[in-house]
């Protein structure tokens, strides 16, 4: 509780600085549109997925998104990336932990997961993401998600908001994205939860190089 109060106090202090500069025109950074996001990512191939309803995208406030299924053999994941060109005027990234329960999913576990992601020949990227298990009825899913902006990967919603204010002051930018990878599993076989987590991790390795081309540094 004490830690949360300290983080909240820091958020409030930084917000004051953010509001003082909110009137400035925000810096725009060139980026590759998600229309060119790869269909093929290593062994993973995109499959058609329904688009989000306009009511949903309006509620999210997202500027552009990727919503696809990818498969590799008998493995499958669901990828969602929501990009916000600006998070001023109330348009901020929604935490999956707020949205998923509203869709009927119950969080069962949530913990940070440290990864060393392959970056296609560049030095490997060390990153920490959220590792969550959710359930609806008999369905269970492993969800890996994080917030990404300006080359930074942040799992914590509160710290992401602090960095948002700092970047608005330092860089005059509030753009950012939520990246979410879901791997379903059922309670049968040998440790299905770990198998689903490995599937999600393998896919994260595949998308990291592509993300750097579509999310501004």
What pLDDT, in 10s, does the model give residues 155-182? 999 999 999 999 999 999 999 999 999 9
Return the pLDDT at 147.
Answer: 97
Return the pLDDT at 148.
Answer: 96
Burial class of residue 105 (count of CB atoms within 10 Å of its CB; 0-12, 13-18, 19+): buried
pTM of the model: 0.85
**pLDDT for residue 90 is more than 60:** yes
Give the side-chain half-sphere CA count within 13 A for 85: 12
Q: So where are the chain's domains?
A: 2-214
Strand, helix or coil for residue 202? helix
> What is the DSSP code (8-state) at residue 39?
S
């Amino acid at each position: 509780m004490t830690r949360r109060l300290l983080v909240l106090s820091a958020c409030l202090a930084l917000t004051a600085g953010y509001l003082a500069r909110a009137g400035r025109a925000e810096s725009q950074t060139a980026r590759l549109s998600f229309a060119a996001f790869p269909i093929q990512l290593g062994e993973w191939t995109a499959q058609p997925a329904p688009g989000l309803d306009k009511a949903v995208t309006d509620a999210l406030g997202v500027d552009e998104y990727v919503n696809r299924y990818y498969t590799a053999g008998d493995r499958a994941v669901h990828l969602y990336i929501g990009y916000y060109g600006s998070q001023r005027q109330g348009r901020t990234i929604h935490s999956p932990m707020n949205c998923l329960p509203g869709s009927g999913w119950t969080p069962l576990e949530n913990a940070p997961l440290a990864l060393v992601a392959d970056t296609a020949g560049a030095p490997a990227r060390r990153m920490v993401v959220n590792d969550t298990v959710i359930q609806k009825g008999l369905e269970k899913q492993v969800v890996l998600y994080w917030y990404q902006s300006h080359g930074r990967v942040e799992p914590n919603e509160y710290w992401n908001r602090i960095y948002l204010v700092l970047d608005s002051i330092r860089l005059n930018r509030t753009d950012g994205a939520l990246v979410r990878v879901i791997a379903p599993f059922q309670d049968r076989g040998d440790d299905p939860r770990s198998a689903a987590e490995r599937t999600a991790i393998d896919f994260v390795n595949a998308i990291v190089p592509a993300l750097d081309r579509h999310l501004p540094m």
